[in-house]
Amino acid sequence: MSKLAEVEAKEKVPMSKVKKREMWKSNLTAWLFLFPFVSLYLLFMVYPIIEGFIISLTRGGFGMDREFIGLSNYTTMLSDAFFWEALWNTIIFVLISTPSIVVLGLLMALLVNQGLKGTTFIRAAFFVPYMLSISVMTSIFVFIFQPYTGLLNEILRSVGLIDGEIFWLGETGLAWLSILVATLWWTVGFNMVLFLAGLQDISEEWYEAADMDGANAWQKFWHITLPSLRGVLTLVVILQSVASFKLFGQPWLMTGGGPGTSTRPLVQYIYELGFRNWNPGYASAVSYVLFLVMMIFAFIQYKLLIKKED
C-alpha cells in the first residue's frame, strides 16, 4: 500500500486540499519519471503482443488489407507436418542442451574454484568464447566441421581414428550434435559464471565441519555443494531453456535448418513463414504457440524446481 493511501485509511477523514494537491503532484512526478520507459514499453512490447494475436487471426501479406479468418491459422497448424517437426526439433534441443550446459557449466565452475595454478587464466579461457558474436562463432565451427577441409576431420585423420571423412553438417544426427557442441562452446562460460557466484556464497565452515566428520570429496559435493546451489541451478535451467527455445542463429548459419528441414527450429520456421513465404498471419499464429509452449515449460520448471524448496 502506498504511503498516502495508508495515511488516508488511518485518518478516515476527507483529505485536506493541501494533501490532495500533494498527491496530485506525486502522481504527476511519478508519471514523468515513468513516461520515457513506459511509452517505449507500450509501443515495442505490449502493442506487438496484442497486435500479434490479431494478425494471427488473419490472412494476407504485409501492409495489405487482411482478411479475418478466425482460428484457421491455428487449425492449419494441427495438420502442418513442418510445424510439428520444428516444434519437436526445438523441444528436443531444449531437453538435450539444458542438462548438457548445466553439467559442463557446473564442472567448469568447480574446476575454477579448486585454487589451481593459473585459475584466472582458466576462468578467462572458459568464458572468452561468450564474447564472440554468433556469426563469428558459427563461421569458425562451420570451417571446423567441413568434411574435406575441416579441422576436426583433419585431426581425426591424423590420429588415425577415421580415414575418409565425416559429413558433420550433412547428416541429421551429426548436424544436431555439431549445433549442440557449438552452442555449448559458445555459451557455457556464461553459465559457469553464475555457478561460480553461487559456489563462492557457500560458507567455508560447512566444508570444515564436514572435514572433521571425515567426509570425502564426493560426499561434500553431494550433501553441501549441490543443495546450496539449488537457487543458481534453478536460474541456470530456466535461463538456458528459454535461450534454447529461442534457438535460431546456430542452425540458420551452420546448417540452414538442413539437411532438408531436419534441424529447423521453431523460430526459424516463424522467420521463414513471415519473411520468406510472406505469410504474417500464419507466422504470428506459430509465434503464439511458441510463446505458449515456453510458458508451459516455465510453469513446469517452476513447479518442479521451486516448490521443492518448501
Partner 1 sequence: MKNRFSAGRLTVYIVAYGLVAFMLIPIIWMFWVSFKPINSVVTVISELLTPPYGVESYIRVQESSMIWRWTLNSVIVGIVQTASTLLLSSLAAFAISRIAFKGKTFIFLLILAGLMVPVEATIVPLYELIVRFGWVNSYPALILPGIALPLGVLILKQFYDAIPNDLMEAAKIDGANLLRIWWSIFLPLSRTSMAALAIFVFVQSWNNFLWPLLVANDQSMMTLPVAIPTFQSSFTVDLTVPMAANVLASIPALIFFLIFQKQIIKGIAMTGIK
Q: How far apart are CA 282 and CA 239, in angstroms?
A: 28
Output the smallest distance, CB 59 to partner 1, in A.
13
Using the contact rule CB under 8 A, the part of the chain among 83-91, 160-168, 172-180, 282-290 near partner 1 is 282-290
Q: At a CB cut-off of 8 Å and minimum separation 6, what does 92 contact?
A: 176
Which long-range contacts link 300-304 to residues 24+ away (Cβ below 8 Å)? 301/234, 301/237, 301/238, 301/241
Binding partner 1 by CB under 8 A: which of 227, 275, 277, 304? 275
Q: Report cis status (omega within 30 of 0) of the bond before 259.
A: yes
Residues 122, 116 contacting (CB under 8 angstroms): yes
Which C-beta is closer to partner 1: that of 30 or that of 92?
30
Interface residue with partner 1, options 185, 206, 207, 221 (CB under 8 A): 185
**Residues from 53 through 112 that contact partner 1 (CB under 8 A):** 55, 62-63, 107-108, 111
Contact flags string 114-153 toward partner 1, x per CB under 8 A: x-x----xxxxxxxxxxxxxxxx-xxxx-xx-x-xxxx--
CB 280 within 8 A of CB 55: yes
Nearer to partner 1, 172 or 234 (CB): 234
Q: What DSSP character marks residue 265?
A: -
Binding flag, residue 158, partner 1 (CB under 8 A): yes
Binding to partner 1, residues 223-242 (CB under 8 A): 231-232, 235, 239, 242
Spatial neighbors of 70 by CB under 8 A, at least 6 apart, are: 57
Residue 3 binds to partner 1 (criterion: CB under 8 A): yes
